[in-house]
Amino acid sequence: MFHSRMSDRAMLVVSAVALALGVSVSSMATAETVTITFANWAAAEGTTKPAIDKVIADFEAAHPDIRIKSEAISFSEIARQLALRVRAGNPPDVAQLAGNDTFLIAATGKLEPLGGYLDVALKAELKPDATSGLSYQGKLIALPWTLAPAGLWYDKAILQKAGLDPEKPPRTVDELMTAMAAIRKSQPDVIALAVDTTNRPFSLQSNWPWMATFGADPLGATGRADSPQMKRYLAWMRELAQNRYIDPGRKIGEFRPLAAQDKVAFVWDQVLLQGVIQSASRMTDDDFYKRWGVTVQPAGPGGKSYSFEGGHQLVMFADSKQKKAAWMFMQYLAASPSAIRDYTLGPGASLPPLVRMPSPELAKKLDTPIYQAFTSRIIPTVTTPPYGPAFAAASSAIMAGVQQAVTGTESIDQIAGSMQQQLERR
């Protein structure tokens, strides 16, 4: 009896403890799953959707308590959408952005500064060039995800046929003009130079290095759209059109399949051109390097070469309720070996923003003539235009002027003057 009373009480205590333990154990087992919304265009485009879906699935497998809800929004709409959503109070947690859009959204003041999330290890891994251009009002507001600078691609077969040395692409604008004249003569059905002359902020971004190499700075602190340098740039664009070296009005994406058919001699395009050409023409890597090379921009009267960074960044919104999980996802996308292998170097056809590759296998993938040219020679020439809301607003005035120079008949002075007037009116 004594025994049973003791065991009764013991039983009571034991069961109470067991109950308490059991409750806490079960609450640990059913830790809340957190859902992160990720606004992006990678999932909206056929080329990249399978890859980004896989990366997300891999992340979810590695982190069972985090779910990613991918919101597919088109590249041309995402800035507008995010601006509306920020205003309306329902932004996503994480978003993919690029170029001027990143700074447009930063201007709303609703982006979470990321400096505090970068730990020492990651800070050492990231290329300083990659993060230096991503500050707004002194704070880092975006994590670089992919690097995709632009260079001058050249089709060696076309150069050879025109009697030019396929291993010595033009280094100055004058040499470029001579080369294009030769190409036009020998192969009149080839487009000599592919540049984007549509009227969108992206084309201003893409043409900014050309304006810079002529010494023009239409939006700078002391810059003017009617400066002699800008007029010289506009006159050069007109010369390109009059000699039929360019095909005006085409988006850069519309030139890429033509390049795959050897119908374009020089392409001013980002590192991802290789991926598009190879997927369209089914060329092997070796054949591609035999056919295509890339070099820095031919220098203009200013004497310096420039490039622009067309890669993608990741931002986190200040209103997010799960910042820690969002950061883990962002870090995974940018720096994890599997994401780099499956997305960045895969269909993304871009460079990771890391100083060193996290594995020898990935380091080997980067050891190609094209990637080397970008990493060692082109990336150092990247210049950042004055991104921001003013850039977007000004881009339609400036690109309209460029279009008028290219296809219109008014004098360059007139065009530059009216451009400056419009910029002043803002």
Partner 1 sequence: MMQRATVRVVRDARRVPWLDPMVLPAAGALAVVVGYPVVYTLLLSLQDYDLLGTVPERFIGAANYRKLLDDPTFWQALGNTAIYTFGSVAVAALLGLALALLTESVGGHRGRLARTLLLTPWAVPFVVVAFLFRYMYLQNGGAINAALLATGVIDAPISWLNVSSLALTAVMITNIWTMTPFFFLLLAAALAGIPNEVIESARVDRARGWSLVVQIKLPFLRNALLVSSLLMIIANFNDFAKIWAMTQGGPGYATTTLVIYVYRQAFENFAIGYASAIGVVWLLLLLAFAIAYLRALRTS
Partner 2 sequence: MSSVRPRDAVRRATRAARWAAIVVALVVSLAPVYWMVATSFKTELEAARLAPTLWPHEPTLANYRGLWSGSLPFLAFFTNTLLTCLATAVAAVVVATPAAYALSRARFRLRGVIGYAMLVFRMLPLVVLLAPLYLLLLHARLLDTHTGLVVGFATFGLPFAVWMMKGFIDTVPIEIEEAARIDGYPRWQIMLKVVVPLVVPGLLTTATFVFMEAWNNLIYPLTFITTLEKQTLPAALVLAFTGQFKTDWGGMMAAATLTTLPLMIAFFAVQRSMVRGLTSGAVAGA
Shortest CB 86 distance to partner 2, Å:
12
Look at residue 49 and give the partner it binds from partner 1, partner 2, none, a contact being a CB closer than 5 to 8 Å depending on partner kind.
partner 2
348 burial level (CB within 10 Å; 0-12, 13-18, 19+): buried
Tokens matching residue 357? 């590759």
Cβ-Cβ contacts under 8 Å for 415 (sequence gap 6 or more)? 234, 401, 404, 405, 408
Spatial distance between the Cα atoms of 263 and 286, rounded to a whole number of angstroms: 20
308 burial level (CB within 10 Å; 0-12, 13-18, 19+): buried
Residue 243 in contact with partner 1, rule: CB under 8 A? no
Shortest CB 144 distance to partner 1, Å:
23
What residue type is 126 in one-letter code?
Answer: L
What mask, x for binding partner 2 by CB under 8 A, covers residues 81 to 110?
Answer: x--x---xxx--------------------
What is the pairing mode between strands 66-72 and 135-136?
Answer: unpaired
Rg of the chain over CA atoms, in angstroms?
Answer: 26
Per the CB < 8 A criterion, the answer to whether 145 and 96 are in contact is yes
Of 146, 256, 317, 346, the residue at the interface with partner 2 (CB under 8 A) is: 256
| H or E segment to which residue 289 belongs | helix 285-291
Q: How far apart are the first and last CA of the chain?
A: 95
Assign residue 26 a region (left: φ > 0; alpha: ψ between -120 and 50; beta: otherwise): alpha
- What are the backbone dihedrals phi and psi of residue 328, each rounded to the nearest 5 degrees, phi first? -60, -40
Look at residue 408 and give the partner it binds from partner 2, partner 1, none, a contact being a CB closer than 5 to 8 Å depending on partner kind.
partner 1
Look at residue 187 and give the partner it binds from partner 1, partner 2, none, a contact being a CB closer than 5 to 8 Å depending on partner kind.
none
Residue 239: other Cβ atoms inside 10 A: 13
Which residues 88-117 are close enough to bind partner 1 by CB under 8 A? 104-105, 107-110
CB of 381 or CB of 403, closer to partner 1: 403
Shortest CB 90 distance to partner 2, Å:
7
Residue 39 in contact with partner 2, rule: CB under 8 A? yes
Which residues 169-198 are close enough to bind partner 2 by CB under 8 A? 189, 191
Residue 290 in contact with partner 1, rule: CB under 8 A? no
Residue 281: other Cβ atoms inside 10 A: 15
Look at residue 43 and give the partner it binds from partner 2, partner 1, none, a contact being a CB closer than 5 to 8 Å depending on partner kind.
partner 2
Task: Count the site residues for partner 1 by CB under 8 A.
Answer: 37
Q: Which residues bind partner 2 (CB under 8 A)?
A: 39, 41, 43-50, 53, 71-77, 80-81, 84, 88-90, 189, 191, 251, 253-254, 256-258, 260-261, 263, 272, 275-276, 280-281
Binding positions for partner 1, rule: CB under 8 A:
80, 83-84, 86-87, 104-105, 107-110, 191, 198-201, 247-250, 258, 389, 392-393, 395-396, 399-401, 403-404, 406-408, 422, 425-426
